[in-house]
Structure 1
């Protein structure tokens, strides 16, 4: 059985969109001590900009997550984030499996840039895991600072969900 990574990525973004729809504006934009001074909106922006980098890189077959735009409107306006999610989900429906070059740098001056061969599906897997990680961070503030009730699987990796099922029911 083959898994459709685009569908999994869209499902992750859909879960994020469901949360954005219910979170109050002031909770979306407020700086939280639980998030070390960042906001839920900043984490949402961070997630979506990684997906956006992949979308932009797909057209030229070269992705560099270091070149994120850091668009403040995504972290300040829920509707901007929701529109971007819709756009990203529509884009994923049209993608074909292709090879990509992944570029980046671990140097402050970015003089030395690495370039390695990757693939659309590999980068989608990375984006899924990255999104889930930040959704777990978002959940910390949403639950503990603002008393939201989120689905048990929000911000939890699929491997953890499988382990929990095996542990509880075996």
Structure 2
């Protein structure tokens, strides 16, 4: 279910990118602190890439990601990587080490692949919610009702509707 949820989320991003032009993904939006849809998309893609690219060696460091400008300016490149990641997600759970320097110079935490997939899913949803704000300026774009909404919120809304 986790892998499928993440694939669905990546598919939502692919669907959005298919509708946008390269000019639209590079527009600055004041509502996003002058960030672009492409910047938010690149950030999400690169965090997931940090996990997938380092699965084998077991050492994940989200702070030392590539920051590939092509992913935020060329929708075809972003779509290509998202489609690639959809096929690479299905891996067995295993122990990983997460390196970060949020609270000190460098710290290492124990984690696992499935926990990091959940983190990436929630992180992608968060950035979708921000992108959704920008999409109000692009009324020709159609997104799913679940775009940018946490699964727990969707489930809660279903219960309230009953």
TM-score strictly above 0.5: yes
For residue 26 of structure 1, what is the aligned residue in structure 2? Answer: 23
- In the alignment, is the contact (CA less than 8 A) between 1:34 and 1:145 conserved in 2? no
Retained in 2: the 8 A contact 1:28–1:78? Answer: yes
| 1:130 aligned counterpart, secondary structure | helix
1:70 and 1:100 map into 2 onto residues whose CA distance is 22
Give 1:97 deviation, angstroms. Answer: 1.1
Shift of residue 165, structure 1, vs aligned partner? 0.8
Compute the displacement of 1:159 (Å): 0.4
CA distance in 2, matches of 1:11, 1:152: 13
TM-score, structure 1 length as denominator?
0.91
Q: Which structure is higher in helix share?
A: 1
Matches of 2:155 and 2:14, distance apart in 1 = 23
Q: Which runs of 5+ in 2 are unaligned?
A: none
What number of residue pairs does the alignment pair up?
Answer: 161
Structure 1 Cα separation of the partners of residues 110 and 6 of structure 2: 21
Q: Does 1:36 align with 2:29?
A: no
2:93 match = 97
TM-score normalised by length of structure 2: 0.95
**Contact 1:102–1:116 under 8 Å retained in 2:** yes
| Runs of 4 or more above 6 Å deviation | none
Indicate conservation of the 8 Å contact 2:16/2:142, yes or no. Answer: no
| Contact persistence 2:12–2:144 (CA under 8 A) | no
